[in-house]
A and B are shown apart, each in its own frame.
Chain A
Amino acid sequence: MAAKPKLCYFRGRGRMESIRWLLAAAGVEFEEEFIETREQYEKLQKDGRLLFGQVPLVEMDGMVLTQTKAILSYLAAKYDLYGKDLKERVRVDMYADGTLDLMMMIALAAFKTPGEKEENLALVVKKAKTCYFPAFEKILKDHGEDFLVGNKFSWADIQLLEAVLMVEELDASVLSDFPLLKAFKTRISNIPTIKKFLQPGSQRKLPPDSHYVKTVRNVLQL
């Protein structure tokens, strides 16, 4: 029996959260090793497990994978969540890439000074409302289908749900002008694997708090 994928990262969302979502949505069980100290991190580097000295790190299928987007693309391809041909694939890629940009802004804001953080998060909500959500609302409106690409569940749907929930944590009313996105959110949340992931006790991580920020700063010597 194949070993479970093993994720190595801090005990928090950061760049690993989208990977957790994708694995969970695909119904794949995974293990996690949490980095808590600088010594642990240096050992990972010395052991040569980190290609460019960085996490996220995912070990699976006999491979040592780093670089968030490369890992996500691999998982999407492996679990058939990448569209049926090249034209669908590039759309999945664009949508996922866009939502990842938005989520990375939120992840990085946690490391700013309080004033900057508030400003950055306000900008995220603005960008969501003016650039990203309108785009996805239009996509859903134009084809009238349940999923973003090719009438089939894909990586793009998982990541959009993840992004929507993350932005809602910042502004609960953010979907008020986007009825189709609202319906999308409900629909995708009810997919059994995702429903399970959204319940307490799953491997989904909490928004970054001061303890998380302190740990990351300490380990990465930021």
Chain B
Amino acid sequence: MAAKPKLHYPNGRGRMESVRWVLAAAGVEVSCLGWRRGEVPVVCWSALSPLGCLEGAVQGQTQFDEEFLETKDQLQKLQDGNHLLFQQVPMVEIDGMKLVQTRSILHYIADKHHLFGKDLKERTLIDMYVEGTLDLLELIIMHPFLKPDDQQKEVVNMAQKAIIRYFPVFEKVLRDHGQRFLVGNQLSLADIILLQTILALEEKIPNILSAFPHLQEFTVKISNIPTIKKFLEPGSKKKPPPDDIYVRTVYNLFMP
């Protein structure tokens, strides 16, 4: 059985959170220990599946391990050992490779788990949506590292960008095709990253979706996909919003 992916990052959201989301959301090839001999393994959504899976059945998600960066020494060790291509994290050990650069990691996982559309045109559309959403998510990622005086102003800025630049586009896409998913009538990287971003924004601005009924429906529907629903429950590897400890850890790790 293939080793689980291993994520290297501080214990918090940052740039790694999107990777956690996509791994968690991706349906997995079976790690189910109980299939009968000679049968073709299928994705096992719950330990109570009709195949009679035994305990140890993976409930649909891609499992992954995490090594949390807490000290500068740990980071130095990774850098000195040539484990970080450009001396930076996120880094994900997966399939015998050490992947860096968030977007490259996300693309690889999406490709592997069929979350990138059915052809080049769909792929490019998904890519465009993901790139735009990641620009918005970037504001959220950087927010805790702004000076306290600038933080409130930035919440206003992110709300404006979301409501004026990004949400209307996705609202229109969903309204125009009337489908559950953004592209090609199937779950893709674009849906996962958009949901992540919407939920992160809602933590700061609870009514941010008030003018976007299709996005509200989208949020509910995508949240209810079994793998994502599980990720949204307590006890998952989803990280809480950044707190002072996280901010301090990051400063200590990365400031010269």
Contact = CB atoms under 8 A, between A and B. Distances in A.
Interface of A: 51-53, 63, 65-70, 73-74, 77-78, 86-87, 89-90, 93-94, 97-98, 101, 130-132, 135, 138
Interface of B: 82, 85-88, 95, 97, 99-101, 103-104, 107-108, 111-112, 120-121, 123-124, 127-128, 130-132, 135, 165-166, 169
Given A51-B132, A70-B131, A135-B86, A94 B101 contact: yes
B128 A94 contact: no
Nearest to A53: B165
Contacts of A94: 85, 99-101, 104
Given A51-B132, A53-B165, A86-B112, A70 B97 contact: no
B127 A73 contact: yes
Of all A-B residue pairs in the complex, the 7 with the closest CB atoms, nearest first, are: A67-B131, A70-B127, A93-B104, A97-B101, A90-B108, A70-B128, A94-B104
B27 to A, nearest CB: 17
Nearest to B164: A53
Nearest to B126: A70
Contacts of A135: 85-86
Contacts of B103: 69, 93, 97
B120 A74 contact: yes
A195 B97 CA distance: 34
A135 B86 CA distance: 7
B165 A93 contact: no
B256 to A, nearest CB: 11
A74 B127 contact: yes
Interface centre among B85, B87, B100 (most CB of A within 10 A): B85
Given A86-B111, A93-B101, A73 B124 contact: yes
B131 A69 contact: yes
B184 to A, nearest CB: 15
Contacts of B121: 63
14 contacts: A52-B169, A73-B107, A73-B124, A74-B123, A78-B120, A90-B97, A90-B99, A94-B101, A97-B101, A98-B101, A101-B101, A131-B86, A132-B86, A135-B86
Given A53-B165, A87-B95, A66 B101 contact: no
Given A98-B101, A131-B88, A93 B107 contact: yes
B40 to A, nearest CB: 23
Interface centre among A65, A90, A130 (most CB of B within 10 A): A90
Contacts of A66: 128
Contacts of B99: 90, 94
Contacts of B108: 86, 89-90, 93
A67 B132 contact: yes
A54 B41 CA distance: 46
A69 B165 contact: no
A97 B85 CA distance: 12
Contacts of B86: 98, 101, 131-132, 135
Nearest to A74: B124
